[in-house]
């Protein structure tokens, strides 16, 4: 099975120039560091640091930027002589081969309309391999279009889209997209800088046959979830499957817990932190968040979860030996590809909290999209190709292969995965794993808490608070870059 990008997402020790991502698997590779100098000297770009497996590392110094952003070259059109456009991306989807085939289909359709234009598409790996290749290609100005994640604060800081990307605000295909998704995943300073095609989320996949066998319903509160787990254990079943090797895979579980408990009590927590630098990880809601995450792991997880390789997760869940798998929406395709022994694949949003209505909120983040580079000598062709991608038929044919959440609301996908996920998209909010600023020392896997007994929920809360406090000199320079209006759009 191909290792998708999302399988590499999770917890990173954030140095001065590091960025934190969740997952799309990775739910996750880190956001690339900027390779061009910032438009303003005060907004120097951080560089990527490598993920740590355990305790957060000391902040690393950010290297100097490699080049200044080139002014947009004189625009050319696709109606003249031969034009070649370079497009780079990570290997995405449950099958890298399927991803390449989907891209070939789009590019062949585009060439039929613009015979003089050739699109060269290059998947450049996953995880750090992709990040390093992307940075190198942008620094050398040898690609016209790069794959991007939906804008998170770290992406905006690292890429400074208003100085490095082509303005896409006037593309007519943007009208086909849900405007909330345009504002949340594609925009900065009132303009559109990338076309985000998909977003993904964290949910609980279920073996529907096992639920039906014991007449179980999807839980909507924490008490109900515990009841479901108790019933399965009483029948000799393993309630919850997880694959936490490396421990970065735990970021899906922690994101679900934070959304249900912490966010429900303090919906503006992350907005307050990013906009004004105010935060407190020792409040009762954070302690309860840590407590319930630890409790569900201790009481209901397969005891061998910490030693199970994450890439093998979908195949093992497909054996039918487990009731539930808290995981990314992106793994639905992997489960189906593994030919599950059960007939009914289903899913629900994790009810770590006591408020059933709030528990219906799914943590999500922007996934694959396209951004054109300002230095391209073929700006008009780049914009035309991206615009072509956003046309309804082209968009749907591509997304039908990837099976991620489409950012166009009219793109109704078919198959068992979209069918299971559709009811869970009525209420979403940006996942915790995409919200830290570069330089923050914040372990999104909560590994020290969930994989050992060295901390109580209370002492772990104090530990997190101290890490954020100690790393503040590395990230406080970004306070003021994001304002309340941005936060209102992003966290809507």
Query: What pLDDT does 135 receive?
Result: 94
Query: Would the pLDDT of 136 be above 90?
Result: yes
Tokens of 337: 């590809």
Query: What pLDDT does 92 receive?
Result: 60
Task: Summarize the confidence of residues 336-356 as an average pLDDT.
Answer: 97
Query: What pLDDT does 35 receive?
Result: 39
pLDDT band per the 50, 70, 90 thresholds, residue 273: very high
pLDDT band per the 50, 70, 90 thresholds, residue 95: low
Query: What pLDDT does 31 receive?
Result: 37
286 closest CA partner among 264, 305, 311: 264
Task: Give the rounded percent of residues in the chain with a pLDDT score beyond 90.
Answer: 73
369 closest CA partner among 131, 87, 135: 87
Query: What pLDDT does 325 receive?
Result: 98
359 closest CA partner among 292, 441, 439: 292
- The model carries a pTM of 0.82
More confident residue, 403 or 82: 82
pLDDT band per the 50, 70, 90 thresholds, residue 211: very high
Q: Going by C-beta distance under 8 Å and a sequence separation of 6 or more, which residues neighbour residue 183? A: 489, 490, 492
Compute the mean pLDDT over every residue in the chain, rounded to the nearest whole number. Answer: 85
Task: Summarize the confidence of residues 454-475 as an average pLDDT.
Answer: 98
Task: Summarize the confidence of residues 147-155 as an average pLDDT.
Answer: 92
Query: Would the pLDDT of 162 be above 90?
Result: yes
Query: Would the pLDDT of 408 be above 50?
Result: yes
More confident residue, 254 or 64: 254
In contact, 359 and 224? CB cutoff 8 Å: no
Query: Would the pLDDT of 269 be above 90?
Result: yes
Query: What pLDDT does 473 receive?
Result: 97
CB-based burial label for 107 (10 Å; 0-12, 13-18, 19+): buried
Query: What pLDDT does 321 receive?
Result: 97
Query: Would the pLDDT of 67 be above 50?
Result: no
pLDDT band per the 50, 70, 90 thresholds, residue 488: confident
Buried b (16+ CB within 10 A) or exposed e, 157-193: bbbbbbbbbbbbeebebbebbbeebbbbbbbbeeebb
Query: What pLDDT does 389 receive?
Result: 94
More confident residue, 364 or 68: 364
- Length of the chain in terms of residues written: 492
Task: Summarize the confidence of residues 65-70 as an average pLDDT.
Answer: 40
In contact, 396 and 411? CB cutoff 8 Å: yes
DSSP single-letter state for residue 322: E
Query: What pLDDT does 126 receive?
Result: 82
Range scoring the smallest mean pLDDT among 22-31, 91-100, 221-230, 352-361: 22-31
E-strand ranges in 25-155 read 25, 83-89, 117-123, 145-148
Q: How far is CA 157 from CA 63, 140, 431, 444, in A?
A: 15, 20, 18, 20
Task: Give the rounded percent of residues in the chain with a pLDDT score beyond 70.
Answer: 83
Query: What pLDDT does 447 receive?
Result: 96
Query: Would the pLDDT of 69 be above 50?
Result: no
State how far the Cα of 372 lies from the Cα of 120, in Å rounded to an integer. Answer: 14
Encode pLDDT of 217-265 as tens digits.
Answer: 999 999 999 999 999 999 999 999 999 999 989 999 999 999 999 999 9
CB count within 10 Å of CB 220 equals: 17
Range scoring the smallest mean pLDDT among 11-25, 171-185, 187-201: 11-25
Query: Would the pLDDT of 27 be above 70?
Result: no
């Amino acid at each position: 099975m191909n290792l998708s990008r999302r399988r590499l997402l999770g917890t990173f020790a954030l140095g001065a120039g590091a960025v934190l991502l969740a997952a799309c698997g990775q739910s996750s590779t880190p956001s690339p560091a900027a390779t061009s100098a910032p438009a303003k000297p005060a907004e120097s770009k951080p560089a990527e640091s490598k993920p740590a497996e355990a305790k957060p590392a000391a902040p690393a110094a950010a290297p100097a930027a490699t080049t200044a952003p080139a002014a947009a070259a004189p625009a050319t059109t696709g109606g003249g002589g031969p034009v070649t456009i370079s497009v780079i991306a990570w290997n995405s989807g449950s099958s890298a081969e399927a991803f390449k085939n989907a891209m070939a289909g789009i590019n062949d359709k585009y060439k039929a309309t613009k015979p003089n234009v050739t699109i060269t598409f290059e998947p450049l790996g996953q995880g750090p391999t992709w990040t390093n290749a992307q940075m190198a290609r942008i620094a050398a100005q040898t690609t016209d279009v790069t794959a991007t994640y939906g804008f998170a604060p770290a992406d905006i800081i690292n890429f400074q889209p208003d100085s490095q990307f082509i303005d896409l605000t006037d593309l007519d295909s943007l009208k086909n997209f849900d405007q909330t998704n345009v504002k949340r995943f594609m925009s900065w300073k009132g303009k559109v800088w990338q076309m985000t095609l998909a977003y993904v989320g964290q949910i609980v996949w279920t073996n529907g046959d096992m639920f039906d066998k014991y007449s179980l319903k999807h839980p909507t509160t924490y008490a109900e979830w515990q009841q479901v787990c108790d019933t399965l254990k009483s029948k000799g079943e393993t309630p919850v499957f997880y694959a936490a090797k490396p421990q970065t895979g735990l970021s899906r579980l922690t994101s679900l817990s934070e959304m249900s408990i912490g966010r429900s009590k303090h919906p503006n927590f992350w907005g307050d932190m990013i906009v004004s630098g105010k935060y407190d990880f020792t409040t009762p809601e954070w302690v309860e968040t840590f407590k319930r995450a630890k409790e569900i792991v201790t009481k209901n997880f397969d005891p061998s979860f910490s030693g199970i390789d994450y890439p093998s997760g979908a195949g093992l869940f497909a054996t039918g030996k487990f009731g539930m798998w808290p995981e990314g929406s992106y793994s639905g395709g992997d489960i189906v590809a593994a030919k599950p022994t059960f007939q009914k694949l289903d899913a629900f949003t994790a009810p770590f909290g006591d408020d059933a209505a709030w528990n219906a909120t799914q943590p999500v983040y922007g996934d694959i999209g396209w951004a054109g580079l300002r230095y391209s000598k073929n700006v008009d062709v780049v914009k035309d190709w991206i615009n072509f991608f956003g046309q309804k038929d082209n968009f749907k044919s591509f997304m039908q292969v990837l099976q991620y959440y489409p950012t166009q609301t009219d793109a109704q996908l078919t198959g068992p995965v979209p069918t299971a996920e559709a009811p869970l998209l009525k209420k979403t909010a940006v996942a915790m794993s995409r919200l830290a600023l570069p330089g923050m020392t914040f372990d999104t896997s909560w590994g020290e808490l969930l994989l050992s007994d060295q901390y109580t929920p209370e002492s772990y809360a104090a530990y997190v608070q101290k890490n954020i406090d100690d790393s503040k000199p590395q990230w406080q320079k970004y306070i003021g870059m994001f304002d309340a209006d941005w936060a209102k759009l992003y966290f809507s």
